[in-house]
Structure 1
């Protein structure tokens, strides 16, 4: 069960995961040791699953972001596991979800250019034995950056 201090700590860490125990304590009106213990408890209980750095895709030469809906022609546990393995092995696929509705999967993809996106679709996704079709949408502009979860 989270109290107000826990949710405030989580919100602060989502904004800046580099905060020290001292800085967290100051922000939450706690001692550094109390803030550090709370953070450790939240990590141990799985509320905090890890810390990452956000990278700028354009600076890394990844100028095309796309969402790809994947429709399967065959459904079953082995097919799903096989497609999940494929999604996990491709570095261009940064997120993958199983979906309700018309599409079976939604993939978030970052590629160098349109040719790389085309290769991913035509040489990797469509040749998979379970894939019936894909529908890609290229991101023109991102209006809101990935943001912290509501706490």
Structure 2
């Protein structure tokens, strides 16, 4: 594994790791790690340093995944509006250009229902909504927001 990959993996495990700690771990100087991290940031390899938050500690205990069918002429507008909702953690326009894949976090089923009523049901361009709630997390992406 090359040095940049070692640095990235160390930062994924602990975004607050010091350059000195990373340098000791991989056998290079602190200045070299600092220079490589700056280069990775400048090149866009590292987009941001962030915290991984436990949603349960914030009272966001219901994680739901929604597949929303949208008429193609409304997909960008609907996607942009939904992306601004605080309940929406992530949102993707899928390759068929008529589907949105949305991850939401809410306090409970009533909050999910309220979100669905206000932002999805009876909206022009929304054709169908398929919703599944998370039963158990087996593996989640490290190094990015869980929220």
54, 57, 60: which one aligns with 2:58? 60
* TM value normalised by structure 1: 0.88
Per-residue CA shift, 1:23-72, capped at 9, x if unaligned?
11111211100110000000000000001111111111111100000001
Which residues of 2 match residues 115-130 of structure 1 at below 5 A? 115-130=110-125
Q: How many residues are paired up?
A: 144
Q: Please, what is the CA RMSD of the aligned residues?
A: 1.9
**Which structure 2 segments of 5+ residues have no match?**
none
Which residues of 2 match residues 23-102 of structure 1 at below 5 A? 23-72=21-70, 74-76=71-73, 79-100=74-95
**Which structure 1 segments of 5+ residues have no match?**
none
- For the Cα contact (< 8 Å) 1:69–1:103, is it kept in 2? no
Indicate the SS of the match to 1:59.
Answer: helix
Indicate the SS of the match to 1:7.
Answer: helix
Structure 1 runs (4+) greater than 3 angstroms displaced:
100-103
Match of 1:133 in 2: 128
* TM value normalised by structure 2: 0.90
Per-residue CA shift, 1:50-101, capped at 9, x if unaligned?
01111111111111100000001x213xx22211221221011000111235
Match of 1:9 in 2: 7
